[in-house]
Amino acid sequence: MDGSHDLELILRSRTPIVVIESRDEARMLRLLQSIAIRRASTNYIPVFRWTITDGLQRLDISLEPQTLNSEPTAVLKHIRAVNKPGLYVLLDFHPFLEDPVNVRLIKDICIQFRDVERQIVLISHKVSVPQELEGFCARFDMALPDESERARLVQKVIDEYNAENSGKTVQVDSKAHELLVQNLSGLSYADTNRLARKAIYVDGAITKSDLPQVMQAKYELLNRGGALQFEYDTATFGDIGGLAKLKAWLSHRRPAFRGDKSAAHLDAPKGILLLGIQGCGKSLAAKAISAIFGVALLRLDFAAIYDKYHGETERKLRESLNTADVMAPCVLWIDEVEKGIAGRGGETGTTQRVLGTFLTWMAEKKSHVFVVATANDISAMPPELVRKGRFDEIFFVDLPSEDIRASILAIHLSRRKQPLGNFDIAALARLMIGFSGAEIEQAVVSALYAAHAQDKPLADAHIEMEVAQTRPLSVVMQERIENMRTWAAGRTVSCD
């Protein structure tokens, strides 16, 4: 279960070099020690550890380190000169693999392996093996703890807390405990233990309030590329006026996405594409979806993915999507998706590869990652993305009707502590024909500034003046918006 059996098989396969890419260095060393102890009765081989700070040291028995062998080239010459079998664990040796002298020394050790079994284990967060040595290598990937192992690790932390705090026991909410074990997926043993301790030791309890902090810490451990952002400022559908059909659609699919037992026979929803007019609430809706599902919200920034070096753009995208998979269940929000995958001047080749990578991931993903893509420009959307089946549904966010404008106006007035009884909201909503939600909010904000300048409380007249002075986007870009509406009719589902 802990991976030691697989690692022992690789070590017994008589491969001169074993490469282990892991940030959990301490666990790897413990595994190697346990393997050495098990093999002692039949085929005892001494185990050595090398670091550039301490030099060479016996790992299986307690001996002082050999500081004379602290230099990379010196330790390799020492290993080559030894005429007895041994297992040599070199920690963070990856920078020294660029030295041709070191590469030649390692190759000599590998060539002589049949005569003297001197096995090298390279452990680091990332190891790029030179081509000359690839034929002598085997790689070991440490399996991440499964659900039962994560539950065992969490229980171990609970027992430790109880032992250290006599008279106290960890208060456990069963549902929160289940979600904690689930949300710790994709982490190493050390990181799983660390985050479990963080959740339990703060207040001596496991409650639902622990989960957001755990997800934030998990994201910070996983996201090292910068293209994926953890959105702290989410919203609720109470902050949004209208979108009734979208809200109902999401509510029906929430149990299946959350994995509730009542919806075990249903497929988990994959995602939606939100098309529509700028300022009508697409981005706000994306933030609210994470709240209705009760999961973390990640935002994929395509601008941070594109790189001038060949292949780097696709690599960054794959890493970001892999992080989203590990963060599951979560909502992945891609804002203005058409700007990222619908063509970037001369980079058409890169753009096509990015689109292909993204579509392949969407088609093959098994994780509970709900994709919310928003777009403003229909004409720039590639047909491969908008065809039926890529998303569960394509919704169109239109300009708000009079009733919805009234509800949006009420939301923004209430948010700014303005008594609704002081305003004729229905009359003001009738004046705002063609206004988007963002334009309604801006009218309230500007009216508040005007009222403050006059040292008067906000009144209908202030809002009416701002409305009269505003030319909404539906007027400025009338032709394009009409074309968008015409395209959406019959091809998409209205959010209202």
Assess contact for 417 and 301: CB atoms under 8 A.
Answer: no
- Do 172 and 179 touch, CB atoms closer than 8 A? no
What's the average model confidence in pLDDT over 162-174? 86
- Whether 308 is covered by a domain: the verdict is yes
Q: What domain range is 465 assigned to? A: 402-476
Assigned token pair, 156: 């171990």
The pLDDT tens digits for 171-224 are 888 888 888 888 888 777 888 888 889 889 888 889 888 877 887 787 777 666
Decide which of 352, 369, 396 is a domain's last residue: 396
Q: Are residues 195 and 243 in the same domain?
A: no
Answer whether residue 83 is part of any domain.
yes
Residues 115 and 216 both lie in one domain = no
Q: What is the pLDDT of residue 118?
A: 93
pLDDT at position 451: 93
Return the top range by mean pLDDT from 75-89, 158-172, 323-337. Answer: 75-89
Question: 298: part of which helix (H) or strand (E)?
Answer: strand 296-300
Q: Which long-range contacts (CB under 8 A, 24 or more apart) does 56-61 make?
A: 56/88, 59/29, 59/32, 59/33, 59/89, 60/33, 60/36
- 185 and 119 within one domain: no
CB atoms within 10 A of CB 143: 11
**Chain-centre distance of CA 86, in angstroms?**
41
Residue 450 lies in a domain: yes
Last residue of a domain, one of 140, 169, 200: 140
Let me know whether 49 and 153 are in one domain: no
Asked, for residue 482, whether it belongs to a domain, the answer is no
Residues 132 and 151 in one domain: no
- 301/267 same-domain check: yes
Q: Residue 41's pLDDT is what? A: 65
Judge whether 36 and 87 are in contact, CB under 8 Å.
Answer: yes
Residues 152 and 274 in one domain: no
Q: Output 459 or 336, whichever has higher pLDDT.
A: 459
Give the sign of the dihedral formed by CA 380, CA 441, CA 299, CA 260: negative
CATH number at residue 419: 1.10.8.60
User: Do 371 and 242 belong to one domain?
Assistant: yes
- Report the DSSP beta bridge partners of residue 175: none
List, edge to edge, every strand of the sheet that includes 55-58: 55-58, 47-51, 86-91, 118-124, 17-21, 137-140
pLDDT digits (tens, 9 = 90+) for 99-125: 999 999 999 999 999 999 999 999 998
The CATH number that applies at residue 112 is 3.40.50.300
Residues 299-319 have a mean pLDDT of 76
In a domain, 375, yes or no: yes
When divided into structural domains, the chain yields a total of 4
Pick from 201, 219, 211: nearest CA to 175: 211
State the residue for tokens 């030179």.
Answer: 130
Residues 325 and 410 in one domain: no
Select, from the ranges 135-149, 319-333, 337-351, 439-453, the one with the highest average predicted confidence (pLDDT): 439-453
Can you give the pLDDT at residue 432? 93
CATH number of the domain residue 180 falls in:
1.10.8
Which of the two residues, 310 and 393, has the higher pLDDT score? Answer: 393
Compute the distance between CA of residue 231 and CA of residue 92 in angstroms, rounded to an integer.
34
> CB–CB of 215/231 below 8 Å?
no
- Mean pLDDT along residues 423-431: 93
Q: Is there a single domain that holds both residue 258 and residue 383?
A: yes
Do the domain assignments include residue 496? no
Mean pLDDT of the chain: 84
Any domain includes 484: no
Angstrom CA distances, 59 to 47, 67, 79, 238, 404, stand at: 5, 15, 15, 60, 70
Beta-sheet strand order (sheet of 271-276): 228-230, 296-300, 330-334, 369-375, 271-276, 393-397, 493-494
Q: How confident is the model at residue 235 (pLDDT cuts 50, 70, 90)?
A: low
Answer yes or no: do 132 and 163 share one domain: no
Same domain, 252 and 390: yes
User: What is the rounded (10 degree) CA torsion for 209, 210, 213, 214?
Assistant: -140
Last residue of a domain, one of 115, 140, 165: 140
pLDDT at position 238:
67
487 domain residue, yes or no: no
String of DSSP letters for 75-113: HHHHHHH--S-EEEEEET-GGGGG-HHHHHHHHHHHHGG
pLDDT on residue 346 = 44
pLDDT category at 78 given cuts 50, 70, 90 is very high
Closest CA to 222 of 358, 332, 325, 371: 325
Q: Which is more confidently placed, 97 or 5?
A: 97
User: pLDDT digit string (tens) for 318-329?
Assistant: 888 887 888 788
